[in-house]
Amino acid sequence: MSDAERLTRDDVAHVARLALLQLSDAELDEFTGQLAAVLDHAADVDALDLAEVAPTAHPYPLANVWRDDVVGPVLDRDEVLAEAPQAESGRFRVPAILGEEP
Amino acid sequence: MSGSTRHVAAPPAGSAREIAEAVRRGERSAREVLDAHLTRIAEVDADLHAFNLVIADEARAEADALDRAVAAGVTPGPLAGVPVALKDNICTRGVATTCSSRILEGWHPPYDATVVERLRAAGAIVVGKTNLDEFAMGSSTENSAFGPTHNPHDVTRVPGGSSGGSAAAVAAGLAPVALGSDTGGSIRQPAALCGVVGVKPTYGRVSRYGLVAFASSLDQIGPFATTVADAAAVLDVIGGHDPLDSTSIPEAAPSLSAALDEGVAGLRVGVVAELMGEGVAPVVADRVRAAADSLAAAGAEVGEASVPAAVYGLTAYYLIAPAEASSNLARYDGVRYGLRVDAPTTAEMMTATRTAGFGAEVKRRIMLGTYALSAGYYDAYYGKALKVRTLIIRDFAAAYERFDLLLSPTSPTTAFTFGAKSDPMAMYMNDVCTIPSNLSGDPAVSVPFGFDEAGLPVGVQVLAPALGEAVMLRAAAVLEAAAPVREERS
């Protein structure tokens, strides 16, 4: 699109970091070209006058959906934790969060 | 059969409606019907790879239980004994659900999707989970981490996607009906390429609870079948309000099966001019015109419709869907389920897990979406795409003031060969005719309507305004009755 500059390799590297993905140099080159091609195609809508058009995020108007505040069926904790890569004492276990030794 | 390039077959025990009727009357056992399908799967699925997983033992146990209930005098549900295949992004309790991704390999969901509960309650027998493009991102199944599915009409060609496994399963007679999900055409395009019926219902008609999310404002579950009547029967079972999906439409859904044979006399049908132009293969455009002629011959008033903003659907979709996907797929971080690649810190573990677990197309879409949503680019990309979505909805609404239904190609071409669309942009172009309905939330169906010069099936798409499935399927039934039958080549 005209008001955005063409996607660079550095942009792709930055976006990959945001998305928690690590890309090789070859992948960075490949993805930069491919994503830039998609964004170039997206310039076709520059021909449209969208100034007065409201955005649509969802096909139909959505209102808050409420239910009565009563306990219903819930997932079994042990069954859920059994699917986790690591669990301990009824909780999900992860490696160190702040860099210290676990 | 093995070694042949063609594995198209009618379902071995008849249509879903025929099976259910026979089982309900006690004329056939669910077990006998199931075994005929399991035999067919054993014969040809090594060539097709429609299934990621066949759950023969569980299915036999369910069929036997149904047969015992019938013998005991219980009247079973409307899909009694009907084998059904599920796209492998629909959660099945205790049965692996992979989305054809390494990142979910080995995961056993702790719950069933609402559609699975409803199918089982209606007497259907789940036979297995079908292959897809990883996380439903693709139009050929070539993005599956477990290898592609092959088109039963010609195994050197793709079945379409992302629900290619479900489409191929139905086309090859491995299951009379199957479920898929459609975010930008992922039911309709493979249905067209495999020569079966595929329906994307109105957004909110079918519960998304238990459908692994790709793009939440676009995703919708729907059926594949060999007949329009079977598709309607499955929709009748899986549709309707579900309190577990807050976007589920609360109004009751009237039966679609009841009105199927009412014809199209007096209906106004518009051929969408913008979806008949550049990029559409001449043979496909010819088949759409022939379909329009058939509807006219059946009493419809046929004209040319215009949905000008439809041509911008591709741009809007390939910003909105990746944006939603980048958010939805943030949950795959190695903490709660699926793959974990060990690393000293949690941040490194998450990056290592996602890097190893996602395939190239999923990474592309996550990055595209992250970029479109990022500071400085949000208005230029995502914000603009949302405005284009408004224009598409407006243009459809204007077209539906003049017409009851719209008609277009489903896919611009027939089935292509593996590797033919390795450039992502070329692959995305497959979805140009199907995407507008996802953006508008409206229903659409692909119906087989003849073949190209090579004998590959062509699908035509019937589009309807929101909750217009009943009229839409009436037109589909008329086209089904008028469709040319393939000449068998020896």
> What mean pLDDT is predicted for residues B236-244?
96
Reduce the DSSP state of residue B469 to 3 states and report it: helix
Q: Is residue B122 part of a domain?
A: yes
Report whether A50 contacts B395 (CB < 8 A): no
CATH at residue B267: 3.90.1300.10
pLDDT for B171-198, tens place per residue? 999 999 999 999 999 999 999 999 999 9
> B390–A22: do the CB atoms touch at under 8 Å?
no
Q: Kindly list the residues from chain B whose CB atom is less than 8 angstroms away from the CB atom of residue A1.
A: 380-381, 384
- Residues in chain A closer than 8 A to B354 (CB atoms): 19-21
Q: Locate tokens 């520059």: which residue?
A: A46
| B129 classed as catalytic | no
Residue B436 lies in a domain: yes
Nearest CA in chain B to A81: B336
- Of B140, B144, B162, B257, which one is the catalytic site residue? B162
Given an 8 Å threshold on Cβ–Cβ distance, is A16 in contact with B367? Answer: yes
Region of residue B195 (phi > 0: left; psi between -120 and 50: alpha; otherwise: beta):
left
> What total of structural domains would you count in chain B?
1
Residues of chain B neighbouring A65 (CB-CB closer than 8 A): 246
What is the distance between the alpha carbons of residues B313 and B201, in angstroms, rounded to a whole number? 19
Contact B336 A84 (CB under 8 A): yes
Q: Is any Cβ of chain A less than 8 angstroms from the Cβ of B312?
A: yes
pLDDT, residue B251, reads 87
- The percentage of chain B sitting over the pLDDT mark of 90, rounded to a whole number, equals 95
Terminal Cα-to-Cα distance of chain B (whole angstroms): 14
Instruction: Delimit the domains of chain A by residue range.
Output: 9-47
With cut-offs at 50, 70 and 90, classify the pLDDT of residue B254: confident
Which tokens sit at B20?
């259910």
Q: Does residue B431 form part of some domain?
A: yes
The domain containing residue B215 runs over which residues? 16-252+259-309+393-482
Pick the residue from chain A with its C-alpha nearest to B94: A79
Contact B391 A53 (CB under 8 A): yes
Give the 3-state secondary structure of residue B58.
Answer: helix
pTM for this prediction: 0.97
Rounded to the nearest angstrom, the minimum Cα separation between B197 and chain A is 24
What is the model's pLDDT at position A1? 43
Q: What is the pLDDT at residue B365?
A: 98
Q: List chain A residues with CB under 8 Å of B387.
A: 50, 53-56
Residue of B nearest to A28 (CA): B364
Query: Selecting from 1.10.20, 1.10.10, 3.30.1490, 1.10.287, what CATH number does the domain A9-47 have?
Result: 1.10.20
Chain A positions in Cβ-Cβ contact with residue B340 (cut-off 8 Å): 85-86
Q: Please state, in angstroms and rounded to a whole number, the distance separating the CA atoms of residues B203 and B212.
A: 16
B87 is catalytic: yes
Q: How far apart are CA B154 and CA B8, in angstroms?
A: 9
pLDDT in tens, A69-100: 999 889 999 999 999 999 999 999 999 887 66
Mutate to test the interface with A, among B95, B117, B315 (most CBs of A within 10 A): B315
Q: Is residue B28 part of a domain?
A: yes
How far, CA to CA in Å, does B205 sit from each of B248, B418, B468? 6, 34, 11
pLDDT score recorded for residue A3: 43
pLDDT value of position B299: 98
At B28, is the pLDDT very low, low, confident or very high (cuts 50, 70, 90)? very high
